[in-house]
């Protein structure tokens, strides 16, 4: 059988019990894929009272009415699958009026040129049909059990979609109402083959009038996904070259849509958040087998990558979920926004012109009310990881609570460098060696020699500037500087000594800033 679920007219005609009658299709050969629900033998002139639709009607024509067109009309109206007329009892040749009547109404008419026992036909075909129905029921139960189990253990949309693919062998895509492919499993097909030009292909495929149906240039099987009583998106099954959709595929897709809706109700993570995060990690970690597939993935989320330049931005804010939603809405079509955990909120910004990233990055800083750490601008997706590494470096170097602005590697000076190295034991040990005696003196005597030294070093050794900034007389400043020299054992007139102490003080300030933040 063609699909393992229904028996078609073509299949029953091929069975030996009917093949012995030398069947010949004389009307509607193109409609032999109609399903046969039952077999009925009748010689009544008005057989519709005994028919329910979907029957294969067996007859010798003995009881046909005078107007054969009326007979064809009644058969078509009741929805019979086909009529098999055995020649020899009443007709030696099939009447033209009968052929024309069935052809006009799209109902297959088959003649048997050799007699067969109708009882043998009904017994064999009913066994065949019942076996098919049992298989269909078992398949439906298997589908029901699978998706019920997934829902009961809280499976997410990704697992539900993978299960649908495993049960059917067809690629399945979950999209939202803006035709962004959020969750997908491609089965045996390549990712690029499934997602290439996704949005225009999806827009060319209308939603079915009912809940589920096939449509569009590619013959996609589509079912609606609802959330809180309103349509949220669509679950789509793509056809293959060598297999047609069957009733079981419709059942799988509809049950998967129900499980997806339940997952949406019970899970905190929004699918858009997860899709953007996964796609961002695909790029940063080279998780797709090829860059063309990665570009197809980004484009399917509404972020074209062909002919674009890229930069990675990191924002470290408290409520990343709210900011992510805000940034995705504002920069739709040009940015992937994903929560990267401790690394912060990551943004992959795509733009056309060199330097085109800075205005949107500045707008992001204003929207977030926080610093934006920018990596290097790159011209290929394969270089994005380098941009991310640089953004990480900037984010690690810029202390928290800086004014909302865009920071790049060019903004990383000595204070930022030492802030990024604040947890390095070698840096900590260096600062301790240089300043331990001074810190001890301040603690014991209640002085602030460290503050005076910090101001002096910031003034590049200019005593007048130091006295003014420290609100000290020149005599008092000289006394403090001499005491500092004695405590640290260094000549502050020496450029090398000042450089060593400047690094130590800056490193100590970085460590204290980190401790205050924590």
Average pLDDT, the chain: 87
- Residue 114 pLDDT: 92
Q: What is the dihedral of CA 496, 499, 505, 509, to 10 degrees?
A: -160
- Residue 413 pLDDT: 67
Torsion sign (Cα): 496, 501, 504, 509? negative
Quick one: which of 380, 161, 197, 368 has its CA closest to 278?
A: 161
The string of DSSP letters for 38-81 reads EEEE---SSGGGG--SSEEEEE-STT--S-HHHHHHHHHHHT-S
Contacts for 304 with CB less than 8 Å, ≥ 6 apart: 298, 333, 350
Q: Is residue 254 within 8 Å of residue 344, measured between CB atoms?
A: no
pTM confidence score = 0.63
Q: How many Cβ atoms are within 10 Å of 126's Cβ, its own excluded?
A: 12
Helix axes 68-78, 96-105, angle to 10 degrees: 30
- Assign 378 to helix, strand or coil: strand
Quick one: which of 50, 108, 40 has its CA closest to 76?
A: 108
Does residue 81 register a pLDDT over 70?
Answer: yes
Between the two ends of the chain, the Cα-to-Cα distance in Å is 69
Of 81-85, 180-184, 240-244, the least confident: 240-244
Percent of the chain at pLDDT > 70 equals 94
Rounded Cα distance between 360 and 356, Å, is 8
Greatest mean pLDDT among 131-145, 172-186, 225-239: 172-186
- Assign 504 to helix, strand or coil: helix
- Residue 124 pLDDT: 84
**What pLDDT digit, counting tens, does each position of 370-387 carry?**
999 999 999 999 999 999
Q: Is residue 350 within 8 Å of residue 358, measured between CB atoms?
A: no
With residue 426 as reference, give the H or E element that holds it.
helix 425-445
With residue 188 as reference, give the H or E element that holds it.
none
**What pLDDT digit, counting tens, does each position of 473-496 carry?**
988 888 988 998 888 888 888 888
Rounded Cα distance between 190 and 196, Å, is 10
- Residue 514 pLDDT: 63
Rounded Cα distance between 297 and 237, Å, is 17
Q: Is residue 223 within 8 Å of residue 204, measured between CB atoms?
A: no
- Residue 3 pLDDT: 44
Question: Which is it for strands 335-339 and 309-315: parallel, antiparallel or unpaired?
Answer: unpaired
Distance from the Cα of residue 235 to its chain's centroid: 11
Question: Which is it for strands 335-339 and 230-237: parallel, antiparallel or unpaired?
Answer: unpaired
Query: To which residue do tokens 């005597």 refer?
Result: 445
- Residue 1 pLDDT: 36
**What pLDDT digit, counting tens, does each position of 264-304 carry?**
877 666 788 889 999 999 898 888 778 888 899 999 999 99
**What pLDDT digit, counting tens, does each position of 236-249 carry?**
999 987 767 888 88
Rounded Cα distance between 305 and 53, Å, is 53
**What pLDDT digit, counting tens, does each position of 453-474 carry?**
888 888 888 888 888 888 889 8
Torsion sign (Cα): 150, 156, 159, 160? positive
Quick one: which of 175, 150, 137, 174 has its CA closest to 251?
A: 137
Model confidence at 518, in pLDDT bands (50, 70, 90)? very low
The pLDDT of 486-507, averaged and rounded, is 85
Does residue 44 register a pLDDT over 80?
Answer: yes
- Residue 172 pLDDT: 95
Task: Identify the DSSP state of 243.
Answer: B
């Amino acid at each position: 059988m063609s699909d393992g679920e229904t028996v078609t007219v073509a299949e029953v005609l091929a069975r030996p019990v009917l093949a012995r009658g030398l069947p010949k299709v004389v009307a509607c050969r193109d409609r032999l894929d109609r399903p046969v629900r039952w077999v009925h033998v009748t010689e009544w002139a008005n057989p519709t009272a005994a028919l329910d639709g979907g029957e294969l009607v067996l007859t010798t024509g003995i009881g046909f009415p005078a107007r054969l067109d009326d007979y064809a009309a009644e058969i078509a109206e009741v929805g019979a699958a086909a009529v098999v007329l055995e020649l020899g009892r009443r007709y030696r040749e099939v009447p033209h009026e009968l052929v024309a009547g069935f052809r006009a109404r799209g109902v297959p008419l088959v003649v048997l040129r050799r007699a067969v026992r109708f009882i043998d036909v009904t017994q064999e075909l009913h066994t065949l049909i019942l076996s098919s129905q049992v298989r269909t029921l078992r398949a439906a139960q298997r589908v029901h059990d699978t998706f019920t189990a997934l829902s009961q253990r809280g499976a997410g949309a990704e697992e539900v979609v993978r299960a649908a693919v495993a049960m059917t062998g067809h690629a399945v895509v979950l999209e939202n109402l803006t035709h962004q492919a959020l969750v997908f499993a491609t089965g045996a097909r390549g990712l690029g083959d499934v997602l290439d030009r996704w949005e225009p292909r999806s827009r060319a495929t209308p939603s079915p009038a009912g809940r589920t149906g096939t449509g569009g240039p590619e013959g996609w099987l589509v079912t609606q996904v609802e959330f809180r009583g309103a349509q949220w998106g669509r679950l789509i099954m793509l056809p293959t070259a060598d297999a047609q959709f069957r009733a079981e595929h419709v059942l799988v897709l509809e049950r998967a849509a129900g499980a997806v809706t339940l997952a949406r109700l019970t899970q905190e993570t929004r699918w858009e958040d997860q899709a953007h995060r996964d796609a961002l990690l695909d790029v940063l970690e080279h998780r797709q087998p090829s860059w063309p597939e990665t570009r197809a993935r980004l484009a399917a989320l509404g972020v074209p990558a062909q002919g674009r330049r890229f930069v990675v931005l990191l924002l470290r804010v408290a409520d990343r979920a709210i900011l992510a939603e805000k940034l995705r809405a504002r920069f739709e079509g040009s940015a992937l926004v994903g929560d990267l955990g401790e690394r912060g909120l990551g943004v992959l910004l795509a733009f056309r012109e060199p330097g085109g990233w800075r205005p949107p990055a500045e707008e992001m800083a204003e929207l977030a009310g926080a610093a934006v750490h920018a990596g290097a601008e790159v011209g290929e997706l394969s270089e994005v990881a380098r941009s991310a590494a640089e953004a990480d470096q900037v984010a690690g170097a810029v202390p928290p609570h800086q004014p909302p602005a865009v920071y790049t590697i060019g903004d990383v000076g000595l204070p930022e460098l030492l802030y990024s190295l604040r947890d390095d034991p070698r840096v900590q040990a260096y600062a301790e060696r240089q300043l331990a005696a001074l810190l001890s003196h301040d603690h014991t005597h209640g002085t602030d020699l460290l503050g005076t030294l910090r101001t002096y070093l910031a003034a590049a050794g200019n005593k007048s500037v130091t006295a003014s900034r420290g609100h000290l007389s020149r005599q008092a400043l000289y006394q403090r500087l001499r005491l500092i020299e004695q405590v640290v054992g260094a000549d502050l007139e020496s450029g090398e000594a000042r450089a060593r102490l400047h690094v130590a003080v800056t490193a100590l300030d970085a460590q204290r800033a980190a401790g205050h933040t924590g």
